[in-house]
Amino acid sequence: MGPRSCARACPRCWRTSVGRGLFEVELIEGEDGGWHAIDMNPRPYGSMALAIGAGCNLPAIWCRHVLGEPVPATRAVAGVRYRWTDADLRHGLWQLRAGDPTAAARTMSPRRHVVHAFARRSDPGPGVARMVEMATAAVGRARAPGGARTASPGSDPAVIIGAGPCGLAAAAHLPAYGVDVRVFGEPLEFWSQRMPDGMLLRSRRRSSSIADPRRELTIADYERAEGRTLRSPSLTREQFIDYGRWFARQIAPGIDPRRVSAVTRAGTGFSPAPGRRRGAGPLPG
Ligand SMILES: Cc1cc2nc3c(=O)[nH]c(=O)nc-3n(C[C@H](O)[C@H](O)[C@H](O)COP(=O)(O)OP(=O)(O)OC[C@H]3O[C@@H](n4cnc5c(N)ncnc54)[C@H](O)[C@@H]3O)c2cc1C
């Protein structure tokens, strides 16, 4: 795809207002042969090392442009691979723990013509720093919840407003720290009411599980528990909603489906005022 058709596929608002500097637009080729934007990020993107490794040094090109220097047309060469080293490592270890050494070997096996996200032999600092950060986090996880700070007995519960994927993940984690949790809202309401029918998730299924502290409520766990096989490489919207609602039942069977209509101060904390359940009459207090 050439730069002109690429620019045409960008929504107009991006071309006119946001689309200056380095930004990312992801395009997908539709069945009609046209290109459609599916994701936009107003910032340099994480895998930019791939473009640089393929001969298209985007930051250098942008700097030249800003300095008013001529910018020769540049074309990236095909066949260069990108490796997000630490993510591959973590994913490989996860596959080993899940009992799939073949998949782990496939993930971690060395490849030719690879550029790494930030690990370089000539500049080992960032790679070493990331390894230290991962090791520190792993030690912290191994110690929690025993060694972690826990809430004092009798503390007020934490209130989570909205049972989307992030609210549910928070509800799954907080009890491990001794915090009681109250969750308000229909599980996955935004996903069921505001996303288009027939939509496929953009994130791969391996990146779409909702977080729980023991990693026992992943999409694979859901499939095993319910005897289902979900779509690969990414779920349908409906499958993700079913999975999210199952997750909600496992971690917080007492979710209050009402919406919160107001939050007021109460002593040193806050007090939510539940309103109606969406599409239903008022519930008894
Ligand atoms: C078209 C589209 C496609 C996407 N595709 C992906 C994807 O493939 N993979 C991915 O990881 N992410 C995707 N996302 C991003 C996705 O929305 C977020 O990853 C995820 O939903 C964020 O979770 P959340 O819990 O923060 O927010 P939400 O899912 O928005 O959850 C917040 C919840 O709070 C509820 N709520 C709000 N106010 C109240 C109130 N007063 N009382 C009670 N409840 C309330 C809402 O109804 C909602 O259910 C997509 C987003 C869109 C719009």
Sorted by where each begins, the domain ranges of the chain are: 3-46+55-66, 81-145, 158-274
What is the 238 CA–ligand 1 centroid distance (Å)? 14
Per-residue pLDDT of the chain (285 residues; tens, 9 = 90+): 666 777 777 777 666 666 678 888 888 777 777 787 778 888 888 889 999 999 999 999 999 999 999 998 889 999 999 998 888 888 898 889 889 999 999 988 888 899 998 888 889 898 899 889 988 988 887 776 555 566 676 678 899 999 999 999 999 999 988 899 999 999 999 999 999 888 889 888 989 999 999 889 999 999 999 999 999 989 999 999 999 999 999 997 779 999 999 999 988 889 999 876 665 444 333
Task: For domain 158-274, give the CATH number.
Answer: 3.50.50.60
Measured by CA distance, the residue closest to atom 41 of ligand 1 is 260
* Alpha-carbon dihedral sign for residues 213, 216, 222, 223: positive
The dihedrals phi and psi of 24, each to the nearest 5 degrees, come to -120, 130
Measured by CA distance, the residue closest to atom 20 of ligand 1 is 165
The answer, yes or no, to whether any atom of ligand 1 lies below 6 A from the CB of 274, is no
pLDDT in the model for residue 284:
34
The dihedrals phi and psi of 167, each to the nearest 5 degrees, come to -60, -40
Of the candidates 91, 100, 168, 99, which has an alpha carbon nearest to the alpha carbon of residue 134?
A: 91
Pocket test for ligand 1, best of 38, 39, 188, 189 (most atoms within 8 A of CB): 189
Q: How many CB atoms lie within 10 A of CB 135?
A: 10
The 3-state secondary structure of 228-267, one letter per residue: CCCCCCCCEHHHHHHHHHHHHHHHCCCCECCCEEEEEEEC
Q: Are strands 81-83 and 260-266 parallel, antiparallel or unpaired?
A: unpaired
Q: What does the alpha-carbon distance between residue 186 and residue 162 come to, in Å, rounded to a whole number?
A: 7
First-to-last CA distance in the chain? 59
Which residue's entry shows tokens 């989570």?
160
The answer, yes or no, to whether any atom of ligand 1 lies below 6 A from the CB of 201, is yes
Ligand 1 atom with minimal separation from the 200 CA: 8
Element (H, E) at 36: strand 35-41
Q: What does the alpha-carbon distance between residue 265 and residue 268 come to, in Å, rounded to a whole number?
A: 7
The answer, yes or no, to whether any atom of ligand 1 lies below 6 A from the CB of 164, is yes
Taking the whole predicted model, whether its pTM rises above 0.75 is answered as no
Q: Are strands 114-116 and 158-161 parallel, antiparallel or unpaired?
A: unpaired
The answer, yes or no, to whether any atom of ligand 1 lies below 6 A from the CB of 161, is yes
